[in-house]
């Protein structure tokens, strides 16, 4: 029997940024990972005591995947968030700290809004909080420099340390996620879902 969905936590991010790894680390559940990124529009979800946790498909351009498919994925995510915004308690947007600056600058040089920034702006149009998980920080040398640029590009005035309730430098693979775990625990406890996070 399917358990009723009372509320939801969503994970959003480009393919290969570590969404599924963070999902697994926080909730202690192995999430099905696609063999090849960018080949599915179906989200991965689990239901824990009425709280649905959803790993949305990776958005953005992927080598070897048509632009049409990438657009369909983006449209699916937008419609999903719009349709279920009332039950979403928090959105966790995961970005790759190692490649963020390079990717954003590449988009900006073409005169386009980088997709991570566009997605961040979209998520912030709703009433739920948006946590920005800056992943793979164990492989970043100038951490504060990067995080200040992330803050600025995402519309938050640096220094990033003013935004520790919204920006979470993590390394999901190494289990260095205590900052976001603590913030998420608080949101869930405040909404009556205490004890779900490990």
The runs of H, that is alpha helices, within 36-162 are 67-84, 100-109, 115-123, 143-153
Burial grade of 180 (CB within 10 A; 0-12, 13-18, 19 or more): buried
The reported pLDDT for the residue numbered 34 is 56
Q: What is the pLDDT of residues 133-146, one digit of tens each?
A: 999 999 999 999 99
The reported pLDDT for the residue numbered 42 is 86
The reported pLDDT for the residue numbered 67 is 86
Whole-model pTM: value is: 0.94
Which segments in the chain show pLDDT lower than 70? 1-2, 31-40
What the block records as the tokens of 172 is 């999901």
Angle between helices 143-153 and 100-109 (to 10 degrees): 40
Q: What is the pLDDT of residues 93-117, one digit of tens each?
A: 999 999 999 999 999 999 999 999 9
Task: Please name each of the domains of the chain with its CATH number.
Answer: 7-190 (3.40.50.300)
Provide the 10 A C-beta neighbour count for residue 120: 21
Cα–Cα distance for residue pair 20/57, rounded to 1 Å = 10
């Amino acid at each position: 029997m399917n358990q009723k969905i009372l509320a939801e936590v969503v994970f959003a991010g480009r393919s290969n940024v570590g969404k599924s790894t963070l999902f697994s680390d926080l909730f202690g559940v192995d999430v099905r990972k696609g063999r090849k990124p960018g080949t599915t529009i179906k989200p991965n979800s689990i239901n824990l005591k009425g709280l649905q946790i959803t790993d949305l498909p990776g958005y953005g351009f992927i080598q070897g995947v048509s632009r049409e498919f990438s657009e369909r994925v983006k449209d699916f995510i937008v419609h999903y968030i719009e349709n279920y915004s009332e039950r979403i308690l928090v959105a966790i947007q995961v970005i790759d700290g190692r490649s963020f600056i390079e990717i954003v600058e590449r988009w900006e040089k073409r005169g386009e809004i980088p997709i991570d920034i566009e997605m961040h702006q979209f998520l912030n149009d709703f009433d739920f909080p948006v946590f920005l998980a800056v992943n793979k920080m164990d492989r970043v040398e100038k951490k504060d420099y990067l995080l200040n640029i992330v803050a600025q590009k995402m519309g938050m005035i640096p220094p990033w340390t003013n935004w520790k309730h919204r920006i979470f430098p993590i390394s999901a693979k190494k289990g260095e996620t205590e900052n976001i775990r603590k913030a998420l625990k608080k949101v869930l406890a405040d909404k009556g879902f205490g004890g779900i996070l490990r």
